[in-house]
Amino acid sequence: GLNFIDLMVRQGNIDNPPKTPLVPGFECSGIVETLGDSVKGFEIGDRVMAFVNYNAWAEVVCTPVEFVYKIPDDMSFSEAAAFPMNFVTAYMMLFEVANLREGMSVLVHSAGGGVGQAVAQLCSTIPNVTVFGTASSFKHEAIKDSVTHLFDRNADYVQEVKRISTDGVDIVLDCLCGENTGKGLSLLKPLGTYILYGSSNMVTGETKSFFSFAKSWWQVEKVNPIKLYEENKVIAGFSLLNLLFKQNRGGLIKSVMDKLLNLYNNKKIKPVVDSLWALEEVKEAMQRIHDRGNIGKLILDVEKAPTPLVS
């Protein structure tokens, strides 16, 4: 799986970026080739998907058994590589952090991306949930059925949301950061939850620009705890990779994956795969995410031959 966090790793816009040379990537699917001595529950030849703390973009991947899950029979390898990061992130934010219930409303940015599409599908499993989404206008036709109200990512979505729902929304899921933090908080209803789960505004052009990085941070409104108390608002952060690899919550993630695979088997959710790329095409694949050209998930396929560039 190719995720926006991979772009941030490449540009060094993360806490403690790893030293090069490194193999990027945090999720994959494949076939079990070898087992550790004490591994139970898996056999050589099993079709699996897994979280990996780097090194996922490789022909052979090694990861602890607690991060590995069997793939349902009717799920393809590309769907499986598109499944763990996006759906676990979406599920945990909606149900573990924000406590999504019937009749609530959700605002999600990048509604056409992998997490955005997972959020929309999971919201549709709860009755009467209104989803407000922002996305580039060229994606609207393709994703208009997955969200209730769709806005152009460059439009004044705060006014658009308030025009439809005067008192705002119950949940804001923000992967952009920057000036959107203040806007998201302003849209929350009393007892509403704002969750920051990414900062794609920090990713700049081809090279890391310190000035645009600093500008994004300065745009983040300083949150006053007294104001939160007076307005009955909740502000939260969510990082799946930290939860898995730094905070040892693999057991919790496993229980979430069990629920998600149950939803998949009942045909309630299905990963949206945008495109498959050869490893040699990773530069072009990353550029597609950078330009926000994808609808759903980009997958790197180690068996795919590079597509010749047509002049």
pLDDT tens for each residue of 61-90? 999 999 999 999 999 999 999 999 999 999
The domains of the chain are located at 4-83+247-300, 90-242
pTM across the whole model: 0.92
In the structure, what pLDDT confidence band is assigned to residue 200 with cuts at 50, 70 and 90?
A: low
Domain spanning 4-83+247-300: CATH superfamily:
Medium-chain alcohol dehydrogenases, catalytic domain (3.90.180.10)
Fold (CATH) for 90-242 = Rossmann fold (3.40.50)
Mean per-residue pLDDT over the chain, rounded: 91
Closest CA to 70 of 92, 41, 38: 41
Burial of 311 (0-12, 13-18, 19+ CB in 10 A): exposed
90-242 has the same fold as 4-83+247-300: no
Order of strands, edge to edge, in the sheet holding 27-31? 27-31, 47-51, 68-70
pLDDT > 70: percent of the chain:
92
Check whether 202 has a pLDDT greater than 70. Answer: no
Order of strands, edge to edge, in the sheet holding 169-174? 149-152, 130-135, 105-108, 169-174, 188-196, 234-237
pLDDT at 20: 86
